[in-house]
Amino acid sequence: MRGNTRTNGVWLALAVLIVFGLLRYENFGSAYNIASFLNYNSMFILIAIGMCFVIMTGGIDLSVGSVAAFASVVAAYLSPYGLEVALPGGVLAGVGFGAVHAFAIVVMRVPPFITTLAGMLAAKGGALVLSGAKTIAVDWGSNFTKLGMENALGVLPWTIVIVAGVGLTAWCVLERTSLGRTVLAIGDSEEASTLMGLRVNRAKVFVYLFSGGCAGLAGVFLASGFGAGQPLEGLGWELAAIASVVVGGTLLTGGLGSVPATVAGALLLGLVFNILNFENGRGTISLSAYWQLVIRGAFLLVVILLQTRMSGGHDAADARVPD
Amino acid sequence: MRTGTRSETSPRGRPSPDVSWLRLIRRHGTVAALLALVIFNALVTPNFLQLQTLFVNISQVATIAIVATGMALVIATEGIDLSVGAVMALAGALAPLIFMSTFGVEHPVLGLTAAFVLPLTVAAACGLFNGVMVSFLGIQPIIATLILFISGRGIAQVLTNGNLQTFSNPAFSYLGTGKILGLPFQGWLTLALAAAISWLVTRTVFGRYLLAIGGNERAASLAGAPVRPVKIGAYVICAILAGIAGLIVVAINSASDAARNGNLMELDAIAAAVVGGAVLQGGRAPIFGAVLGAVIIQLVKYTLLANGVADEVALIVKAVIIVLAVYLQQTRRE
């Protein structure tokens, strides 16, 4: 693996922001803030983990936001049957989209960027058709909303417990299995990986199924946490996920990446918003939602510039659309 | 109609002379699809062969086509520009602010000129930013343009406080509602811009370098092509074209809505460029192809809408078209 300098930055920034928040805001470290912060960001961490795997192979998945919206509608329709049906149903809906993407990318050899762009449109259209362009209320009588609204053992939200499980599994798969090693090898050089006899196609199919599944699970969280399947949600989620992955030091050209650093990247982006909200709350500044967009973009710019500097600009040669 | 020529530095020469039906579709697919759409509509869609239908489609396709030609330039360098929609919103938000300001009201002519020049300058600056990020800092185009994709619209909304700006300014609105020889002004503007860009690609040194860089950047660089300036040029032109499209949208509506102007335009523009024959790996810049692609995308939208197919289903159809178009382009390369 090439140097870890890329991922050190994100941990440092995360630590600085947390210390800053703890010192400046009274309720920053409160159990309520931590729980609601983690609960809300669990969806973004999930899709960032899925995105991380796709990007490590040199691909991209632009469909995650729409797929999550689609899955949230599916889960809302299935909610009367309980969590044990709605959760796998939502995840399977996401995996289904992942399977179509994998087919187009691996068999038809359409570039991931285009495939998942089309997937984004299709999932959005699908979600609107399925829901009749309305939000679909979940069944509050079943145990479905417990997932997004209650804490495990009364401490941490269920969502974040599940995300931790997914993250740990993904980490192990990446670092300890031949599948994970193949994912990284493909990103470095797909041709070399094929020549070495690695099961390239299997790994590529896996990452799109995994990303779809993560988006599906995020959709289930969305429906459960907000009490409705939301066909219009998910706009810009893919960008948040890509930003998290980049902030976490993963190269967009593939071949290098880390699950913990991606999670840290997602937390860092979420934390910037959390802190902005606290600042708004204190009344020292008054930032509209529009300013938050500008700041988010500026933040992404700073991180990218820092990354380029740290990596000695060696990715200049790799600067191209992942395909 | 197709002006996209492969660069000399490309390792592949003339296409092999096999004449299978698949090849025919690939070569003339864009025109064939367009003809099929027109014939289908003439037979099925009520009132299709009316001037009114033509006007509606021309005025709606113009913005997609203008942005798509710029996108084709960027894609030719093996890049992508996700920020076009945000740049449209930014340029569109600035123009009314300028001609509605006290200065603009007191000096109508100067104000109107500034309302065209300043937004397009800002758009060009956005393109410069994208181009510098891509060519000097070596940042992947998707990420480099993602920054303005996110914050460009935010800046536009900050400028207008998120409000809808409505105005009544016949001179400015001419851009979106004027007619020459009975046809919408923006239709003529689209053709003029496409012709200019096409000339730039096929007849100038810039164009030769552009295609060479897209065909094989390293080879072009070794051969002495000014890679960085040319790439920056492509992003700047693309952004200026997006700015023009943003102004047109505002002029059509006599209102500027920073939240909606150019929303999802990057998708339409990429789709139009690809349907028109652009290859994501670079090296081709089919400018009129991109215009044709935009017409096809618009006609598909219109066909579905006019025949009572819901908007959401139209999205799915568009998705299928994009994948199939790229699939056909892709197999041509292999």
Lowest-pLDDT choice from A167-176, A229-238, A252-261 = A252-261
Q: Do B316 and A243 touch (CB under 8 A)?
A: no
Closest Cβ–Cβ partner in B141, B315, B330 for A121: B315
Tell me the CATH number at A224.
1.10.3470
Q: Inform me whether the pLDDT recorded for B4 exceeds 60.
A: no
Mean pLDDT along residues A237-248? 84
Closest Cβ–Cβ partner in A291, A301, A308 for B158: A291
A52 or A289: which carries more pLDDT confidence?
A: A52
Interface test with A, best of B267, B322, B324, B329 (most A CBs within 10 A): B322
User: A-contacting residues of B 44-73, CB under 8 Å?
Assistant: none
Closest Cβ–Cβ partner in A118, A121, A293 for B151: A293
Q: Residue A110: list chain B partners with CB under 8 A.
A: 323, 326-327, 330
Nearest residue to B88 via CA among B169, B155, B144: B155
Mean pLDDT along residues B8-15? 43
Count of the separate structural domains present in chain A: 1
**CA separation, residue A94 to residues A53, A60, A88, A127 (Å):** 16, 16, 10, 12
Please, are residues B57 and B298 in contact by the beta-carbon 8 Å criterion?
yes
Q: Residue A320: list chain B partners with CB under 8 A.
A: 78-79, 140-141
- pLDDT score recorded for residue A322: 41
Q: Inform me whether the pLDDT recorded for A314 exceeds 80.
A: no
Q: Inform me whether the pLDDT recorded for A296 exceeds 80.
A: no
Residue A292 to residue A315: CA distance in whole angstroms:
29
B177 min Cα distance to partner chain A (Å): 30
- pLDDT score recorded for residue A273: 81
Nearest CA in chain A to B327: A110
Mean pLDDT along residues B10-39? 63
What band does B243 get if pLDDT is binned at 50, 70 and 90?
Answer: very high
* A321 within domain boundaries: no
Q: From the centroid of its chain, how far is CA B83?
A: 11
Please, are residues A219 and A72 in contact by the beta-carbon 8 Å criterion?
yes
Residue B293 to residue B300: CA distance in whole angstroms:
11
Nearest CA in chain A to B152: A294
User: A-contacting residues of B 78-97, CB under 8 Å?
Assistant: 78-80
User: A-contacting residues of B 254-313, CB under 8 Å?
Assistant: 267, 270, 274, 280-281, 310-313
What band does B70 get if pLDDT is binned at 50, 70 and 90?
Answer: very high
Q: From the centroid of its chain, how far is CA B276?
A: 11
- pLDDT score recorded for residue A93: 95
A187 min Cα distance to partner chain B (Å): 15
Nearest CA in chain B to A125: B312
Q: Inform me whether the pLDDT recorded for A96 exceeds 80.
A: yes
The residues near A138 (Cβ < 8 Å, ≥ 6 apart) are A75, A76, A79, A144, A145, A223, A224, A227, A228, A229
A133 min Cα distance to partner chain B (Å): 8
Q: Residue B162: list chain A partners with CB under 8 A.
A: 288-290
* A4 within domain boundaries: no
* A13 within domain boundaries: no
What band does B25 get if pLDDT is binned at 50, 70 and 90?
Answer: low
Give the pair of three-digit tokens for residue B229: 């300036």
B255 backbone dihedrals φ, ψ, rounded to 5°: -160, 150
Mean pLDDT along residues A275-299? 76
Q: Flag whether residue B142 sits within 8 Å of chain A, measured between CB atoms.
A: yes
Closest Cβ–Cβ partner in B144, B152, B327 for A108: B327
Closest Cβ–Cβ partner in A129, A253, A297 for B313: A129
**CA separation, residue B216 to residues A279, A306, B8, B283 (Å):** 49, 29, 10, 8
B319 or A312: which carries more pLDDT confidence?
A: B319
**Percent of chain B's residues with pLDDT above 70:** 90
* A38 within domain boundaries: yes
- pLDDT score recorded for residue A307: 67
A60 or A250: which carries more pLDDT confidence?
A: A60
A242 min Cα distance to partner chain B (Å): 8
The residues near A188 (Cβ < 8 Å, ≥ 6 apart) are A254, A255
Residue A81 is which amino acid? Answer: Y
* A22 within domain boundaries: no
Mean pLDDT along residues B204-209? 88
Nearest residue to B91 via CA among B238, B298, B231: B238
One-letter-per-residue 3-state SS of chain A = CCCCHHHHHHHHHHHHHHHHHHHHCCCCCCHHHHHHHHHHHHHHHHHHHHHHHHHHCCCCCCCHHHHHHHHHHHHHHHHHHCHHHHHHHHHHHHHHHHHHHHHHHHHCCCCHHHHHHHHHHHHHHHHHHHHCCCCEECCCCCCCCHHHHCEECCCEEHHHHHHHHHHHHHHHHHHHCHHHHHHHHHHHCHHHHHHCCCCHHHHHHHHHHHHHHHHHHHHHHHHHHHCEECCCCCCCHHHHHHHHHHHCCCCCCCCCCCHHHHHHHHHHHHHHHHHHHHHHHHCCCCCCHHHHHHHHHHHHHHHHHHHHHHCCCHHHHHCCCCC
Mean pLDDT along residues A186-214? 89
Q: Inform me whether the pLDDT recorded for A43 exceeds 50.
A: yes
B210 by Cβ neighbours in 10 Å (0-12 / 13-18 / 19+) ranks as buried
Q: Inform me whether the pLDDT recorded for A286 exceeds 50.
A: yes
Nearest residue to A59 via CA among A203, A267, A236: A203
Q: Inform me whether the pLDDT recorded for A323 exceeds 70.
A: no
Q: Residue A108: list chain B partners with CB under 8 A.
A: 323, 327, 330
Q: Torsion-angle region of residue B163: left (phi > 0), alpha (psi -120 to 50) or beta?
A: beta
Q: Do A304 and B143 touch (CB under 8 A)?
A: yes
Q: Inform me whether the pLDDT recorded for B331 exceeds 70.
A: no
Give the pair of three-digit tokens for residue B127: 């393109």
Domains of chain B, earliest start first = 24-34+47-333 (1.10.3470)
* A293 within domain boundaries: yes
Q: Which domain holds residue A44?
A: 30-311
Tens digits of per-residue pLDDT, B43-52? 887 777 777 8
Mean pLDDT along residues A283-307? 75
- pLDDT score recorded for residue A285: 66
Q: Residue B274: list chain A partners with CB under 8 A.
A: 114
- pLDDT score recorded for residue A317: 39
Q: Flag whether residue B158 sits within 8 Å of chain A, measured between CB atoms.
A: yes
Interface test with A, best of B326, B327, B331 (most A CBs within 10 A): B326
Lowest-pLDDT choice from A25-29, A59-63, B330-334 = B330-334
- pLDDT score recorded for residue B83: 92
Q: Residue B334: list chain A partners with CB under 8 A.
A: 109
B108 min Cα distance to partner chain A (Å): 31
Q: Do A118 and B323 touch (CB under 8 A)?
A: yes
Q: Do B322 and A109 touch (CB under 8 A)?
A: no
Q: Which of A45-54, A55-64, A194-203 has the highest mean pLDDT?
A: A45-54
Q: Do A110 and B327 touch (CB under 8 A)?
A: yes
A286 min Cα distance to partner chain B (Å): 12
Q: Do B79 and A129 touch (CB under 8 A)?
A: no
A172 min Cα distance to partner chain B (Å): 28
Mean pLDDT along residues B239-248? 95
Q: Do A129 and B310 touch (CB under 8 A)?
A: yes
Tens digits of per-residue pLDDT, B207-234? 888 888 888 888 888 888 888 899 999 9
What band does B3 get if pLDDT is binned at 50, 70 and 90?
Answer: very low
One-letter-per-residue 3-state SS of chain B = CCCCCCCCCCCCCCCCCCCCHHHHHHHHHHHHHHHHHHHHHHHHCCCCCCHHHHHHHHHHHHHHHHHHHHHHHHHHCCCCCCCHHHHHHHHHHHHHHHHCCHHHHHCHHHHHHHHHHHHHHHHHHHHHHHHHHHHCCCCCHHHHHHHHHHHHHHHHHHHHCCCCEECCCHHHHHHHHCEECCEEHHHHHHHHHHHHHHHHHHHCHHHHHHHHHHHCHHHHHHCCCCHHHHHHHHHHHHHHHHHHHHHHHHHHHCEECCCCCCCCHHHHHHHHHHHCCCCCCCCCCCHHHHHHHHHHHHHHHHHHHHCCCCHHHHHHHHHHHHHHHHHHHHHHHC
Q: Do A288 and B323 touch (CB under 8 A)?
A: no
Closest Cβ–Cβ partner in B150, B274, B330 for A239: B150
Rounding to the nearest 10 degrees, give the CA dihedral for residues B197, B201, B206, B209. 150
- pLDDT score recorded for residue A319: 39
Q: Do A321 and B313 touch (CB under 8 A)?
A: no
- pLDDT score recorded for residue B12: 44
* A316 within domain boundaries: no
Q: Do B142 and A60 touch (CB under 8 A)?
A: yes
Q: Do B140 and A128 touch (CB under 8 A)?
A: no
- pLDDT score recorded for residue B24: 61
* A99 within domain boundaries: yes
Q: Residue A292: list chain B partners with CB under 8 A.
A: 154
The residues near A34 (Cβ < 8 Å, ≥ 6 apart) are none
